[in-house]
Amino acid sequence: MDALIVAGSIALLIILTLLMGVKIVPQGSKFVIQRLGKFHQTLGPGLNLIVPYIDQVAYKVTTKDIVMDVPSQEVITRDNVVIIANAVAYINIITPEKAVYGVEDYQIAIQNLVQTSLRSIIGEMGLDDALSSRDQIKAKLKVAISNDIADWGIVLKSVEIQDITPSSTMQHAMEEQAAAERQRRATVTRAEGEKSAAILEAEGRLEASKRDAEAQVVLARASKVAIGHVAEAIQDKELPVMYILGEKYVNALQDLAVSENTKTFVLPADILNAVRHMVNR
């Protein structure tokens, strides 16, 4: 009976030992095997055999693409403006033993590396360039990170800039600046309109003055011609001249008579002579 128990125990131990030596690695993963505390090999997907009690699975590493979210951080641009920037990185582990033995925690290391590189790249750019050059930032960031993480057996598939926004204080300042710029443009437009109106008005007055001057010149020429004809007609005779002047005088009195100003009284210029002549008679 005791021999049977011993034989059963030995058989069970052999079965457990054989099971320990068989490792099935799922698709999308790799196992890092250590032999007596030292790296021995990396097992790929499928059925694998190891030496029981001597070999052990130290790390299980995924070979799928890993999406790493890089937390937001404050970055100062070249013109001393604070902006908030964050990113997301897509990595793939191609050499698991380098990833687990080359760095303590590759995910934290890559996050810090992305943040540091992002601060360095944006720090060399102005605010306007940083806000409008995401593709340029992404290209520089990928080059800067790829060389460093290659030593860890990791490939950077892609890195994307999720968001680049000015800080709340800077956003308020930019809004005030935009409002001031709009006000300035409105003031300039209004001033230009007033200037154009003033120029048009001045040009109108100038044109009217020119036309008035031309009209006066024409009237003066006409009067000159008329006076010449009159002088030629009357020669040294005073009676026709007196007749013409009297006619002009009478017309002027008629115009004053129909005027709305009822307080105006017009008397003949020679009324005193007329009264004296009547008295003498």
**DSSP-derived secondary structure for 92-156:** EES-HHHHHHHSS-HHHHHHHHHHHHHHHHHHTS-HHHHHH-HHHHHHHHHHHHHHHHGGGTEEE
C-alpha span between 207 and 162 (Å, rounded): 65
Q: Is residue 37 part of a domain?
A: yes
Confidence of residue 275 (pLDDT cuts 50, 70, 90): very low
Considering the domain architecture, whether residues 106 and 142 belong to the same structural domain is answered as yes
Considering the domain architecture, whether residues 131 and 195 belong to the same structural domain is answered as no
Domain that holds residue 217: 177-232
Tokens matching residue 268: 């003949």
Q: Is residue 44 part of a domain?
A: yes
C-alpha span between 216 and 219 (Å, rounded): 5
Q: Is residue 257 part of a domain?
A: yes
What's the whole-model pTM score?
0.57
Considering the domain architecture, whether residues 91 and 154 belong to the same structural domain is answered as yes
Q: Is residue 133 part of a domain?
A: yes
Considering the domain architecture, whether residues 215 and 268 belong to the same structural domain is answered as no
Q: Is residue 171 part of a domain?
A: no
Mean pLDDT along residues 171-176:
67
Q: Is residue 86 part of a domain?
A: yes
Considering the domain architecture, whether residues 158 and 203 belong to the same structural domain is answered as no
- What is the per-residue pLDDT across 70-123, written as a single tens digit (0 to 9) for each? 898 888 888 888 888 889 999 999 999 999 998 889 999 999 999 999 999 988
Structural domains of the chain, count: 4
Q: Which residue has the tokens 């590189």?
A: 117
The predicted structure's pLDDT at residue 278: 47
Considering the domain architecture, whether residues 71 and 162 belong to the same structural domain is answered as yes
Q: Is 110 exposed, middle or buried (0-12, 13-18, 19+ CB in 10 A)?
A: buried
Considering the domain architecture, whether residues 74 and 133 belong to the same structural domain is answered as yes
The predicted structure's pLDDT at residue 279: 45
Mean pLDDT along residues 231-257:
61
